[in-house]
């Protein structure tokens, strides 16, 4: 088992990475605050792993809550279901909420833990690749609004993150491939050496070779841990982790959170950001081709969804959380391994970028 420490300003905690570690009761015991545990999962993951987790967790009162599965269910209604369950259990401030699932469950359970009694215990047990390399680490919790993704949320660090790589065996192919987009993101924004490794090992990753997958997860978590330690609340450097996400969140919102998976939208969003970087005149000439080639090799989408309304996307992007004083703030790509925050993007540049992607041949 590999342990990576996240040293955030508000709380430091371990990220445990290994195969079969969910059955190691001592991992859970060391991070459960009191006598009560609520395991929050969804209807897809719970039949696979809930019983094992309940058996491994040691506490006087252990209960569970099963929610619907999917991004469109990351709403205030589901968040309130978790809060209602905690109230029904008469949970005190030393209760621990254990998030068992992908990024949606992690966000929902994390936001409930952040807000119930102004903050209770939280352990993240991510079962999707996307959540393991990104969503479960770093303390971002949120729910969606009909007008924008993750508009309601809080920074709230967990007490621990438990990444059992064996859960990826049961992950559907589409969800696994979508998670690779977030892995590519780390190489693109700040680790050119890792990007090259991904190019050389794309076939192994697609085949889910355990050694390659574990290395990709460890390298991604290490990258995120370093950035979160330097900037916990996204006042500066941490915004770089949003490479491609301004476009991606708009694509997801326009599709009512039901058409594209987050990683699929991030893949296209990164390419749009790379093209926008060219339009701004700050990109190296090989960045966009290299990024396009790697994403295509990993079977990720490389162009906008058919029939997308670019004006609708632009309107959604006006509400992006990175914007300040009505001014767009984009994460752009000056070279592979080198991202930057740019405030010189105007609406004409965004529309040109969207137009060119929409007009690419299929």
Active site residue 249: yes
Of 285, 286, 288, give the one whose Cα is nearest residue 296. Answer: 288
What domains can be seen in the chain, in order of their start residue?
A: 2-170 (3.40.50.1970), 173-358 (1.20.1090.10)
Residue 299 and residue 301: Cα distance in Å, rounded? 7
Distance from C-alpha of 29 to C-alpha of 203, rounded to nearest angstrom: 38
pLDDT in tens, 230-276: 999 888 889 999 999 999 999 999 998 888 999 999 999 999 999 99
Alpha helix stretches (DSSP H) within the chain: 25-31, 46-56, 76-88, 103-115, 129-130, 173-190, 192-200, 202-206, 210-230, 245-254, 262-280, 287-297, 310-317, 347-358
Active site annotation includes 118: yes
pTM for this entry: 0.93
d(CA 318, CA 151): 13
Q: What is the spatial distance between Cα 71 and Cα 223, in angstroms, rounded to a whole number?
A: 26
Q: What is the pLDDT of residues 131-175, one digit of tens each?
A: 999 999 999 999 999 888 899 999 999 999 999 999 999 999 999
Any idea which residue has 């290299």 for tokens? 290
Q: Tell me the C-alpha to C-alpha distance, in Å, between residue 181 and each of 43, 192, 206, 248.
A: 25, 15, 12, 11
Pairing of strands 160-164, 121-126: parallel
Q: Is 140 one of the catalytic residues?
A: yes
Please pick, among 22, 249, 310, 329, the residue that the annotation labels catalytic.
249
Cβ–Cβ < 8 Å for 301, 268? yes
pLDDT by residue, tens only, the chain of 362 residues: 999 999 999 999 999 999 999 988 888 888 999 899 999 999 999 999 999 999 999 777 889 999 999 999 999 999 999 999 999 999 999 999 999 999 999 999 999 999 999 999 999 999 999 999 999 999 999 999 988 889 999 999 999 999 999 999 999 999 999 999 999 999 999 999 999 999 999 999 999 999 999 999 999 999 999 999 999 988 888 999 999 999 999 999 999 888 899 999 999 999 999 999 999 999 999 999 999 999 999 999 999 988 889 999 999 999 877 777 678 989 999 999 999 999 899 999 999 999 998 766 54
182 annotated active-site? yes
Distances (CA, A) of 80 to 75, 280, 343: 9, 43, 37
- The residues, ordered by sequence, that sit 6+ positions from 172 with a Cβ below 8 Å of its Cβ are none
Instruction: Tell me whether residue 150 is one of the annotated catalytic residues.
Output: no
Please state, as a whole number, how many other Cβ atoms lie within 10 Å of the Cβ of residue 309: 12
Residue 144 is among the residues annotated as catalytic for this protein: no
Annotated active-site residue 52? The verdict is no
DSSP 209: -
Residue 356 known to be catalytic: no
Which residue among 234, 264, 303, 310 is the active-site one? 234
């Amino acid at each position: 088992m590999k342990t990576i420490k996240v040293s955030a300003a508000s709380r430091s905690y371990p990220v445990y990475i290994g195969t079969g570690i969910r059955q190691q009761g001592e991992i859970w015991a060391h991070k459960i605050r009191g006598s009560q545990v609520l395991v929050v999962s969804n209807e897809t993951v719970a039949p696979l792993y809930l019983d094992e987790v309940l058996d491994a967790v040691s506490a006087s009162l252990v209960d569970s809550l099963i929610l619907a599965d999917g991004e469109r269910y990351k709403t205030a209604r589901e968040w309130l279901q978790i809060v209602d369950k905690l109230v029904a259990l008469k949970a005190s401030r030393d209760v621990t909420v254990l998030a068992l699932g992908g990024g949606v469950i992690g966000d929902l359970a994390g936001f409930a833990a952040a807000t119930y009694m102004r903050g209770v215990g939280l352990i993240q047990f991510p079962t999707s690749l996307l959540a393991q390399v990104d969503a479960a680490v770093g303390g971002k919790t949120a729910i969606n609004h009909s007008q924008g993704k993750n508009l309601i949320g809080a920074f709230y660090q967990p007490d621990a993150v438990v990444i059992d790589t064996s859960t990826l065996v049961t992950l559907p192919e589409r969800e696994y491939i979508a998670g690779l987009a977030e892995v590519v993101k780390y190489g693109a924004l700040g680790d050119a050496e890792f990007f090259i490794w991904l190019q050389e090992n794309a076939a192994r990753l697609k085949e889910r070779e355990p050694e390659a997958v574990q290395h990709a997860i460890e390298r991604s978590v290490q990258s995120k841990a370093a950035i979160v330690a330097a900037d916990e609340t996204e006042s500066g450097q941490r915004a770089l982790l949003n490479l491609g996400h301004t476009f991606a969140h708009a694509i997801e919102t326009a599709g009512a959170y039901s058409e594209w998976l987050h990683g699929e939208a991030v893949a296209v969003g990164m390419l749009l950001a790379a093209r926008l970087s060219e339009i701004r005149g700050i990109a190296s000439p090989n960045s966009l081709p290299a990024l396009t080639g790697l994403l295509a090799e990993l079977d990720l989408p490389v162009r906008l969804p058919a029939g997308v309304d670019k004006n609708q996307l632009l309107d959604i992007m006006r509400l992006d959380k990175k914007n300040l004083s009505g001014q767009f703030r984009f994460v752009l790509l000056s070279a592979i391994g080198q991202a930057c925050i740019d405030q010189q993007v105007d609406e004409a540049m965004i529309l040109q970028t969207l137009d060119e992607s929409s007009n690419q041949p299929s």
